[in-house]
Structure 1
Amino acid sequence: MLQKNHSPESPKVAPFSSLVKPLNGGKTSFTCQSLLGSPPFRVVWLKDTKELSSSQSSKIRTIEDSSMLILDRITTSPPFWITKPRDIKAKIGQTVELDCIASGFPKPEIVWKKFTDDMWTNINYLQNAQISNGHLIINSIDRLHAGSYGCSASNKIEPNLWTEFVFSVEGPRVAPISPLVKPVIGGKTSLACQNIEGTPPIQLNWFKDGKELSNSQSIKIHTIEGSSMLILDPISTSHSGNYTCKVSNNFGSDSYSTELLIEGPPFWITKPRDIKAKIGQTIELDCIASGFPKPEIVWKKFTDDMWTNINYLQNVQISNDHLIINSIDRLHAGSYGCSASNKIEPNLWTEFVISVEGKLFL
Structure 2
Amino acid sequence: MQHGAQGQRSALQTLYELWTLLCIVEPPQITEKPEVIRVTVGDPVSLDCKVTGSPELKVRWTKDGRELQSIRQHKLSFENNVSSLKIQSAQREDEGHYVFETHGANSNFFLIVVLVTEQVIPPSFIKPLVDMQEVLGSFVQICCKISGSLPISVEWQKDKSKISSGVKHKLIQQDNAVSIEIEQLELSDAGSYSCKLTNAAGKNAPTMIGHVIPAHKVSISLTWSPSFSSEPPSFVTLPKSQVALPNTTVRFKGSFQGTPPFMVKWFKDDTELMTGPTCFTGLEGSSCFLELYSVGVTHSGIYSCQVSNDAGSVRCTADLTVKG
TM-score (norm 1): 0.29
When Rg is computed on C-alpha atoms for both structures, the one with the higher figure is: 1
More strand by share: 1
Of the two structures, which has the highest relative contact order with CA contacts closer than 8 Å and spacing of 6 or more? 2
TM-score (norm 2): 0.32
